[in-house]
């Protein structure tokens, strides 16, 4: 009896909510595609590999042109043809020498988090070791323990600094890494 009741409930439920489905039906299909791209982004791709990184309009990009001394970090205002428009600059993609990306892979995100965690732990244990060293003026072993704690904490802080330096990846635009505009219609 309960089987039939459950089946009846599912049948009513399916018939009532079928018209609410947001799937693409024949009425929602566009007859002719638009001649202008509706979505553009920069694609940094490694030749012969699946490594691809997308940069969309509104995101910040860090790049170095051939004639520049250092890197510039500016938001992407527009992407057209093979040109990147950033704050006050029109940059053809052929002029870009290097791209620097931050936290763009899982390993770099873990390195950034681990680096911040180790730096915080190093700071806290340095303070603990300093307090232990300064409050135990008469006891030689406790003062040595404080110095050992501060030494270990300094190593933690240094390891955190090295890990956080690894959060950036710099890619030279050449035959190995290509930069192109992708337009979706």
Side-chain-facing half-sphere of 171: CA atoms under 13 Å: 23
How large is the C-alpha radius of gyration of the chain? 28
C-alpha pair distances (Å), 42 with each of 2, 81, 176: 57, 11, 16
Residue ranges covered by each domain of the chain: 39-102+168-184, 106-165
Residues of the chain with pLDDT under 70: 1-38
Measured in Å, how far apart are the chain's first and last C-alpha atoms? Answer: 54
**pLDDT tens-digit map of 126-166:** 999 898 888 887 888 888 888 899 999 999 999 999 988 88
How many CB atoms lie under 10 A from the CB of residue 182? 14
Exposed/middle/buried for 77, CB within 10 Å: 0-12, 13-18, 19+?
middle
């Amino acid at each position: 009896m309960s089987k039939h009741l459950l089946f009846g409930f599912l049948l009513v439920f399916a018939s009532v909510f079928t018209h609410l489905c947001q799937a693409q039906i024949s009425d929602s299909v566009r007859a002719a595609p638009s001649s202008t791209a509706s979505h553009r982004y920069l694609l940094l791709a490694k030749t012969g590999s699946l490594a691809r990184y997308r940069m969309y309009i509104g995101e910040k990009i860090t790049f170095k042109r051939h004639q520049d001394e250092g890197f510039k970090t500016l938001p992407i205002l527009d992407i057209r043809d093979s040109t990147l428009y950033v704050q006050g600059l029109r940059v053809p993609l052929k002029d870009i020498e290097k791209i620097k990306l931050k936290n763009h892979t899982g390993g770099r995100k873990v390195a950034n988090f681990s680096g911040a965690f180790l730096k915080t732990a190093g700071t806290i244990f340095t303070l603990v070791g300093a307090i232990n060293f300064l409050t135990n003026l008469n006891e030689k072993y406790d003062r040595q323990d404080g110095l050992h704690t501060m030494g270990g904490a300094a190593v933690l802080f240094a390891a955190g600094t090295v890990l956080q330096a690894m959060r950036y990846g710099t890619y030279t635009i050449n035959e190995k890494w290509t930069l192109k505009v992708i337009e979706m219609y």
